A and B are shown apart, each in its own frame.
Chain A
């Protein structure tokens, strides 16, 4: 078992009180597993990714534990976490490709990054060049400025540099978003290849685009308003989802070939609850067609079949 998260609670401090962005989240990611996290904006998927590596000043660790390869990660202790970051857990944040230093050549930027982690650039250079070639980039990119590369190229550079020390876990937040479909495919393919080569042991891929997850992920975790809704193998989530929210979410996605005239798809009425003061019980119940009295009590996230967990009273 690579990653094990138990009852994780992370809140944001605001003037109006704590925003309960993650409220009791428990799941596991196995060795070699690429787990996708899907959900709408504000469901807590990015917060979850960040909580595994660094809590920013607004975030507060309220409870729960995270263990990586059997060792507990001290996430609430910023200084103690430093030893684990980049070497064991690595994160590609949202818009990482736009956050490269425009005044530094790519090679220089990677050198600075490695120096901050006490690694000698010349030692890893051969491996760096090998991996750049693996993702289809010329080693000349090291001598270029970020502005000279396209979005897809930059995103692949980010992928290579964030996994240079073979972390146990890589978290990729929206790594394929804001790219053209052909670059998107190249980056998604590179993710799978890096896992297959053992450069990263396990991966968490966060995106709002479920069709990309279907292509790269082994399992998909669906989140809703700070809670987990369902986790299952990717194909099961698409073909046989059990949670009403997952069903409605998948049902709202047009497949290439679906037409408005022939097959009218439905959205989901309403909006997710405010996380400042979320209702007790199942958070989807205001929008759920199957809601009944019991939903006032929070359903447990339990296994209903091999590798398939759901948090819903209506699913037995």
Chain B
């Protein structure tokens, strides 16, 4: 449904924009209907930038974004409105997404004015109640209240309900649960799972691996703007290959294992993979003509930089160096 192909983003930084910051490098991924894809990375990995480019809050510098086969990389004002009927985003801080001066109903009123000017009051009311029901909120408890009277979890679910009013097909969820308490966090996650089973595609941006793991079907691991590894959630979590993914998984605080136990397991894996690079090994083994992605990468002359190879079915990994300017450990 949504396909990103070799997407690039360069920010101008420094005084008068004299230096470049390559925030996203040649990122390719796709999201299908009824699927949750997690973008996982630490701060500065470019995960939010990708989410914002998909939502057209930022312009991309290179590459393309296609939605249902249609190129949506550049959209005019009118086309963008149609696009937003299908694609919506929800962000990290629910309190700053609402205007504290107005009741929460106003969020829905502006939506109605922009997108459903011809829907009658009664029909709209029913539609609204259905959407609130879908996110397990009681309309009576919510409507007519000010944002400060509701909890973070309720506000976050309201924002999802707002997105659902538009019959969306893709939801970009950017760190939507990081600000919530543990007990309400899981409700929002379960809601995403529920929406997924109804056919919604979700791009779930997060830094929390255990949360990313809980709902997502596939994960994309980003490091400094580059995809280092991606594949089915269980494949990546059970058998992480790239050094960065392995570091990341060894740093996550687990609830059932101490860091010492995790490190012992990781050191066995590191010993097995030390000094190797599965990306270059695979390229060498297959005479540099491997898989469409590597081919696409080499066509643009950047195969060594950002391409991925398919290590196991559906499990892709990039060159084992970490930052773009480092040497590949295999030399």
Contacts and interface: CB of A to CB of B under 8 A. Distances in A.
Contact of B251 (A41, A181, A210, A266): A181
A185 B253 contact: yes
A267 B213 contact: no
Contact of A188 (B43, B193, B253): B253
Contacts of B290: none
Interface string B272-307: 000000000000000000000000000000000000
A257 B251 CA distance: 15
A27 interface: no
B186 A254 contact: yes
Interface residues of B, number: 34
Interface in A223-267: 238, 248-250, 252-261, 264-267
B214 A260 contact: yes
B181 A256 contact: no
Given A208-B181, A268-B183, A214 B253 contact: yes
Of the four ranges (under 10, 10 to 19, 20 to 34, 35 or more), the interface on chain A belongs to: 35 or more
Contacts of A185: 251, 253, 259
Contacts of B256: 238, 255
Interface in B172-209: 181-187, 189-190, 193, 207, 209
**Interface on chain B toward A: helix, strand, loop, or mixed SS?**
helix
Given A254-B214, A257-B213, A260-B214, A214 B190 contact: no
Contacts of B251: 181-182, 184-185
A268 B180 CA distance: 13
B253 A209 contact: yes
A215 interface: yes
A181 B252 contact: yes
B210 interface: yes
Given A181-B248, A185-B259, A258-B214, A265 B253 contact: no
Interface in B232-273: 233-234, 237, 247-249, 251-256, 258-259
A40 interface: yes
A235 to B, nearest CB: 9
B198 to A, nearest CB: 14
A40 B152 CA distance: 12
Given A238-B256, A264-B190, A180 B207 contact: yes
Given A181-B209, A215-B258, A252 B182 contact: yes
A96 interface: no
Contacts of B254: 211, 214-215, 255-256
A258 B208 CA distance: 14
Contact of A256 (B190, B193, B213): B213
A250 B183 CA distance: 9
A264 to B, nearest CB: 7
Nearest to B179: A41
Contacts of B255: 210-211, 214, 238, 250, 253, 255
Contact of A208 (B43, B182, B189, B253): B182
A315 to B, nearest CB: 20
Given A210-B255, A254-B211, A256-B252, A271 B151 contact: yes
A212 interface: yes
B189 A260 contact: yes
A35 B181 CA distance: 21
A248 B187 CA distance: 13
Contacts of B109: none
A267 B253 contact: no
A97 B271 CA distance: 36
B215 interface: yes
Contacts of A182: 42, 247-248, 251
Nearest to B196: A260
A13 B214 CA distance: 42
Contacts of B207: 180-181
Given A208-B181, A211-B253, A238-B256, A254 B247 contact: no
21 contacts: A40-B182, A41-B181, A180-B207, A181-B42, A182-B42, A184-B253, A185-B259, A211-B252, A212-B253, A214-B254, A215-B258, A249-B182, A253-B255, A254-B213, A256-B252, A257-B213, A260-B189, A260-B193, A264-B193, A267-B187, A268-B184
